[in-house]
Homo-oligomer: A and B are copies of this chain.
């Protein structure tokens, strides 16, 4: 699957992913009113609003980008109706030819991780039938439980040609509390990186493994070190834009050939119309503002990589 992602990145010349992390506060009033009119101020109404919001953004950006990354928490907060909107979003992005990275950060003991892996990137048997419950192409995974929490995901990657991104160094301010602590002369996140290498060996797909990792744009020096430490791991880089990362900070996340990393922006794209820079589009043209923000982000990163 990582090969497919790389092909799409090369085709679009855009090593970026749009984070579909809708909050009701991002949804323009007209769209929100329409959803509430139809479903009331209910979880179903909220779910309809974020689905219509997503759809508009996907419709105006899909030709520019290789992939999207919906953050499932933003859907889960609206309960079951929210998860219906999540699934609709995943399916719709597939229809538009996009790859989907489910940002689910799951991880548990072995047998339970196996269920999460089936849910998100695998298949589940029901009697004589098989289903793909959420059917993302990739998902993110938390490593705190160690190998037996990761192995079931890798197995499912190998069975179904899917991929995972394992949290190594996250973009948030307090990620260092545990991740940066020194063990045998190097930080915990480098120990996790060593394991990412090990876990990825069985899942090579071209020059890279289907087992990638997450390293926050907000820590560019660590990104440079981790790029070298994990030569076969694709790096999913959150934290661009709203969280503070810029194109020039990201150069070291990439290999010399311009591959090896894919940069996510969420709020900076989907709520672009709320930024001063794109305010002239107006609320009613929010999706066009998102398209312009995608173009600007691609330009920023292309220029940095030259």
Contact = CB atoms under 8 A, between A and B. Distances in A.
Interface of A: 21, 24, 32, 36, 41-43, 45-46, 71, 73-74, 76-80, 82-84, 87, 105-110, 112-113, 115-116, 118-119, 124-129, 131, 133-134, 142-149, 167, 170-179, 181-184, 188, 191-192, 195, 238
Given A42-B126, A105-B108, A174 B188 contact: no
B74 A80 contact: no
Nearest to A124: B77
For this chain, the copies found in one complex come to 2
Given A105-B108, A133-B78, A149 B178 contact: no
Given A82-B133, A107-B142, A133-B82, A128 B41 contact: yes
A127 B188 CA distance: 43
Nearest to A130: B41
Given A73-B112, A174-B147, A131 B79 contact: yes
A118 to B, nearest CB: 5
A46 B188 contact: no
- Please give me the 5 A-B residue pairs with the lowest Cβ-Cβ distance, nearest first: A79-B133, A41-B127, A146-B177, A146-B174, A109-B172
Given A73-B119, A77-B115, 19 more contacts: A41-B127, A42-B126, A45-B126, A45-B127, A46-B124, A74-B115, A78-B119, A79-B87, A80-B80, A80-B133, A82-B119, A105-B108, A145-B174, A146-B172, A146-B174, A146-B175, A146-B178, A147-B177, A183-B183
A179 B142 CA distance: 13
A184 B183 CA distance: 8
Contacts of A82: 119, 133
Contacts of A191: 178, 181
Interface centre among A71, A74, A80, A87, by most chain B C-beta atoms within 10 angstroms, is A80
A113 B110 CA distance: 24
Nearest to A176: B146
A110 B172 CA distance: 7
A129 B41 contact: yes
B133 A76 contact: yes
Contacts of A106: 73, 105
A182 B188 CA distance: 10
B115 A76 contact: yes
